[in-house]
Amino acid sequence: MPEIQLLLTDVDGVLTDGGMTFDEEGRETKTFNVHDGLGVKLWQRAGGKVGIVTGRTSRVVEKRATELAITIVHQGVAEKLAIVRQIADEEGLALDQIAYIGDDLPDLATVEAVGFGAAVADAAADLKAAADYVTLAPGGRGALREIVDKLLKESGRWDAATGSLHG
């Protein structure tokens, strides 16, 4: 398997616990895990790119992506695999150079098609069965970070990503 260059993730159920919270004015709020945020930064420090492919559209996702310098953001996506193929073409990558993390049936075709398909611990059973890896952490509780740590360590890029952070 070629080295993974691009990490793509769903949002609801992966970067969040899948819950939807609305304030009294009807504005949506989401809770993101700081460990996943550091995972994004570690992946970027190691030279990898990160992107978001999600079925829903939310200003909160735009804000979080901006905070983490994630420039590949596709929201309101009905056919995730089609968008992932488009992203691969735009980035000059083969699908087997992409990792994708999902949690439910809309992610299934993408998890099956990429080089490293992952499901969060509390994902739908069919997705977990199709995934190359199922996290120990549930969505919104460090699952993305778990994937990043695994990929960086297995590819020998862990020290490059973490060198100045510990020691």
Total tally of structural domains belonging to the chain: 1
**What is the CATH classification number for the domain harbouring 101?**
3.40.50.1000
Which pTM value belongs to this model?
0.95
User: Using CA atoms, how far apart are residues 35 and 142, in angstroms rounded to an integer?
Assistant: 6
pLDDT of 129 strictly over 90: yes
Q: Is residue 136 part of a domain?
A: yes
The tens digit of pLDDT for each residue in 67-110 reads 999 999 999 999 999 999 999 999 999 999 999 999 999 999 99
Distance between alpha carbon 53 and the CA centroid of its chain, in Å?
8
Q: Is residue 129 part of a domain?
A: yes
Torsion angle defined by CA atoms of residues 141, 76, 92 and 103, in that order, rounded to the nearest 10 degrees? 30
Q: Which of 35, 43, 41, 45 is nearest to 15 (CA)?
A: 35
Identity (one letter) of the amino acid at 2?
P
Q: Is residue 43 part of a domain?
A: yes
Can you give the pLDDT at residue 24?
93
**What region does 144 belong to: left with phi over 0, alpha with psi -120 to 50, or beta?**
alpha
Annotated binding site for Mg(2+): 10, 103
Q: Give start and end residues of each alpha helix (H) in 92-138.
A: 108-113, 125-130
Can you give the pLDDT at residue 107?
98
Can you give the pLDDT at residue 59?
92
User: Using CA atoms, how far apart are residues 51 and 144, in angstroms rounded to an integer?
Assistant: 12
Annotated binding site: 10, 12, 103
Q: Is residue 78 part of a domain?
A: yes
Identity (one letter) of the amino acid at 96?
D
User: Using CA atoms, how far apart are residues 3 and 33, in angstroms rounded to an integer?
Assistant: 26
Q: Is residue 1 part of a domain?
A: no
Q: Is residue 82 part of a domain?
A: yes
Domain of 145? 6-53+70-106+117-151
pLDDT of 165 strictly over 80: no
pLDDT of 148 strictly over 70: yes
Can you give the pLDDT at residue 166?
60
The tens digit of pLDDT for each residue in 38-61 reads 999 999 999 999 999 999 999 999
Q: Is residue 90 part of a domain?
A: yes
Structure tokens at 13: 């159920």
Can you give the pLDDT at residue 52?
98
Q: Is residue 65 part of a domain?
A: no
What residues pair up with 6 in beta bridges, in sequence order?
49, 98
Annotated binding site for substrate: 12
